[in-house]
Amino acid sequence: MAQKPLSVTGTVQSAQTGEPVARVSLSLRGTNAAPGPEVLWATTDDEGKFSFPDVPAGNYMVSAEKAGYLRAVFMTKEARAPMAPLAVKPAASVEKLTLYLQPQAVLVGRVVDEQGEPMERAMVQVIVPRNGQLMPQFGGPTNDLGEFRIAGLMPGKYYLVAQRQEAGPQRGKQGYQATFYPSAADFTSATPIELKAGQTSAPAQITLRQGNVFRVTGRVTGSWNRDQMSRVNMMPRRSPGSGQVTTFSWGGGGGNVKPDGSFEIAGVSPGEYNVTLLSYGNGRPVELGRVPITVTQADLEDINLPVQPPLNVRGKIRVEGEGEVVLEGTSISLYPSEGGMGMAQGRADASGAFTLMDVGRMPHRFNFRPIPNTYVKRILVGERDVTLSGVDFSNGATEFEIVLGTKPARLQGRVSRQFDKQAPGRVILLPEGASLADRSYLMMPGIQGFANVDQEGAFEFGGLPPGKFRLLAAEEFPFDGLRSKELVEKLEAKMTKVEIAEGATGTA
């Protein structure tokens, strides 16, 4: 019997004022295999009201688009955590749903030289410290007045860094270095700017610093496809305290490879870097080699950057257990363990066989989305289990096997709230032996690192292997604070322990 169509109706309000927001474009995107359109659309009227008719039962991601607002949708005015998937249950339409949009915060300012003159085409980047690293967010160049405007920001604390590369710096020449707001040489001396929802900052003036800049020259050696576009790049090796910030698009961050393999990178500030060769032959960057360097107070010459061609890695998904499992189309990907560029992706055929093209010869971790009604038992390179450790392709390994079981475990629970309007938040899941200090647990193959909490406080993890786990519920998860050993210990002491058998449903 055909399922009766359901509807989702409600109102969109500003999280800042509580007033209705008109002409918001809303979408429902299904997260499961529910029949019907993959994406449903609606627009709020002048009173902020919306209606989605004919919605099949299932779980949906809700997104919104309105100029001047963040794209995230919230269930409470506090807007601490984005909305969890919306559950539309059979025979139960969702009515009078109130969604909140948060006005964007904006950073404005200008970049000047030491004489106060505007600096045109200086690159300005918003930086957020997270888990011991400086993570670039939005950014862009200054205009002819040295001005910049960076929109689309959530409430929070931000750092600004600017850099302008003069054309062709010569040996021993002073140049403009990466400078943190207001005029700091490194991150530890920088002043953060804190923004509230909907706030446009007071104009922030960054005065670029001049200092000694140097050249790094060398030669790429080894075998690679010289017909493909290649580029030498430099990325800092130190923690955020080093203050060295280089991105792929900024001057001083890289250089082209000449036909004879030589390269030159100009305008380099003192610091510790990795010099890498990236190849762009198949539309995505692949790292072919890297070498660590230290720039002190002199040019570096005759750097040898050894490279090797990437590998084509073959694999096979094998199922142990009863039941029919559709393997065709399953996505498998590898990403460099030590960061950098070069994720490799592939899809399995009906037999479970797949090939990952152009894999760099370095350590990689797996990213594997669970197939319905299965779980990842182990990933093997030869006889060695590399499920959690990943695999180092520098030794020439070119094959691995993913073994699936057909009795996945589930973990369900409910988060109690102190008051009705508390933000739903998330639940973090740690397998035995993993720590909050290492964010790689979020990318463990076949294991969902976190689950959103729905409107009723419920959460669920599926496709789990048997074993011991720990759980942590949090409205806001402080990824940027996990550099602190004390904070990690404090959070992990609050975690709930649970053990699940194969095929069982655990509760927490």
The three-class DSSP label of residue 89 is strand
What is the third-level CATH fold of 311-405?
Answer: Immunoglobulin-like (2.60.40)
The three-class DSSP label of residue 485 is helix
Q: What is the helix (H) or strand (E) element at residue 382, kind and residue range?
A: none
* 483 — pLDDT class (breaks 50, 70, 90): low
pLDDT tens, position by position, 72-100? 888 777 766 677 778 888 888 999 999 99
Of these ranges, 154-158, 278-282, 442-446, the one predicted with the greatest mean pLDDT is 154-158
Tokens found for residue 176: 């403009």
Say if CB 153 and CB 126 are below 8 A apart: yes
pLDDT tens, position by position, 1-34? 455 678 999 999 999 999 999 999 999 988 654 4
What residue ranges do the domains of the chain occupy?
6-103, 105-212, 214-307, 311-405, 409-507
Domain at 409-507: CATH architecture: Sandwich (2.60)
Backbone angles phi, psi at 178, to 5 degrees: -55, 125
Residues in the chain: 508
Check if 105-212 and 409-507 are the same fold.
yes
Which positions ≥6 away from 427 have C-beta within 8 Å?
Answer: 413, 415, 450, 451, 453, 459, 461, 471, 472, 473
Given a cut of 90, whether residue 391 has pLDDT beyond it is: no
| Separation between Cα atoms, residue 75 and residue 454, nearest integer Å | 10
pTM: 0.69
Domain at 105-212: CATH architecture: Sandwich (2.60)
| Separation between Cα atoms, residue 217 and residue 143, nearest integer Å | 32
User: For the domain bounded by 214-307, which CATH number is listed?
Assistant: 2.60.40.10
Given a cut of 90, whether residue 407 has pLDDT beyond it is: yes
289-302 average pLDDT score:
90
pLDDT tens, position by position, 41-58? 999 999 999 999 999 888
| Separation between Cα atoms, residue 177 and residue 257, nearest integer Å | 24
What is the third-level CATH fold of 6-103?
Answer: Immunoglobulin-like (2.60.40)
The percentage of residues in the chain with a pLDDT greater than 70, rounded to a whole number, is: 85
| Separation between Cα atoms, residue 310 and residue 288, nearest integer Å | 6
